[in-house]
Amino acid sequence: MQPKVSVIVPVYNPPAQYLRECLDSICNQTLKDIEIILIDNAAIGDNPQILKEYAQKDKRIKLFRFEKNQGYSSACNKGLEMATGEYIHFADSDDLVRQDTYQILYNILKNKNLDIIIFFYDWYDTSTNTIKHHQYTPQDEKPFSFHNNSSRLSKYLTLWNKVIKKDLFETHQIRFDSRLKCAGGDVLISIKSYLAAAQIAYINQTLYIWRINRANSVMQVIKSKSQELFILANDIISIITKQKLPQEYTAYLLALIASILHDNYKVSTAKLKFYIRLKLFVLRHYKLFKSNISLNNNFQFIKDIHHSSAIKTIINHLIKTGTHHD
């Protein structure tokens, strides 16, 4: 019998306590008809034994181990290959899932015939060991599609705050870019899933707890991987050029690219090398960026995320120095 939800958890090296807490939160869900796919990405220390321990005591767990770390995206692809559930959720191995999360989400997914449901989350601050409530803006919970309301999806490109119908991955051959070993793959999967989905909806509940302020968390690690940032940027450019996107969403994605690269340039330890790559990237896509600068002044949801200034900083510098070409 097909499980209702496949929960895919890529595991590298979270603190053992966090891993146990994560697995307990998934194994103890009120919805019992789930499968739990643990991808051991060449973990070391106590983690491999912890994963084996949980797999032995819970028959719903499928455990696969890479003997060499393949990176976040390849681990997720392996999880998708193993998944048999009707819906897919990707959970980070140091986060927590509230106990009734999958029961609530599955019921809504079925009742509303949804391809994707997006929910909200709280923060677990590891520096103070406290949970902080996420002050989100409540959303209209009626189903919609990307093509008739793309601006509603501008801020939610993480993967763990949504559950996606498995058929969407298979029908549209949606997979992670295996070159993105640290992070960023979730951004691409979110965008591709939005484009493919017929019905998307929000639920105004906080159902997930995201740990922050951990030095070796996935999002902290990616900051030291500048080459992956450019892979991610080029992947997003490819989506823009191959898909017919609403103008405002094209502008948003370009602003997002510019913001990611601009912000990481500011913290880069190899500024000259990073700047050269940044300049070459913008020159390569200069017409696309330039044609969308004005859009950033016209759409409030882009202004709200403060990304428009990043595009202008990069483009205007190239115009000022005369290093662009039309």
pLDDT at 300 over 60: no
Distance CA 76, CA 37 (A): 10
CATH superfamily of 5-216: Spore Coat Polysaccharide Biosynthesis Protein SpsA; Chain A (3.90.550.10)
Residue 10 pLDDT class (50, 70, 90 cuts)? very high
Predicted pLDDT at 234: 94
Predicted pLDDT at 42: 95
Q: Is 285 helix (H, G, I), strand (E, B) or coil?
A: coil
Range 78-97 average pLDDT? 97
pLDDT at 11 over 80: yes
Global pTM value = 0.89
Residue 320 pLDDT class (50, 70, 90 cuts)? low
- Scored b (16 or more CB within 10 A) or e, 119-147 reads bbbbbbebeeeeeeeeeeeeeeeebbebe
Range 124-132 average pLDDT? 87
Per the model's pLDDT, the better-predicted residue between 143 and 152 turns out to be: 143
Selection from 42-46, 181-185, 220-224, 302-306 with the highest mean pLDDT: 42-46
Report CA Rg, the chain. 20
Per the model's pLDDT, the better-predicted residue between 61 and 261 turns out to be: 61
Residue 70 pLDDT class (50, 70, 90 cuts)? very high
User: Can you list the alpha helix ranges (DSSP code H) found in the chain?
Assistant: 16-27, 47-57, 72-82, 101-111, 166-171, 185-196, 218-221, 226-242, 247-267, 271-284, 286-292, 300-304, 308-321
Residue 299 pLDDT class (50, 70, 90 cuts)? very low
Residue 222 pLDDT class (50, 70, 90 cuts)? very low
CATH 3.90.550.10 residue ranges of the chain are 5-216
State the greatest distance between any 2 C-alpha atoms of the chain, in Å, as a whole number.
65
Which of 175, 207, 210, 180 has the alpha carbon at shortest distance from 192? 175
Residue 93 pLDDT class (50, 70, 90 cuts)? very high
Average pLDDT, the chain: 86
Predicted pLDDT at 184: 82
Predicted pLDDT at 267: 62
- Chain segment 40-54, per-residue pLDDT in tens: 999 999 999 999 999
Q: Are 109 and 38 in contact (CB under 8 A)?
A: no
Per the model's pLDDT, the better-predicted residue between 202 and 285 turns out to be: 202
Range 167-184 average pLDDT? 92
Range 142-146 average pLDDT? 96
Range 58-72 average pLDDT? 96
Q: Are 78 and 64 in contact (CB under 8 A)?
A: yes
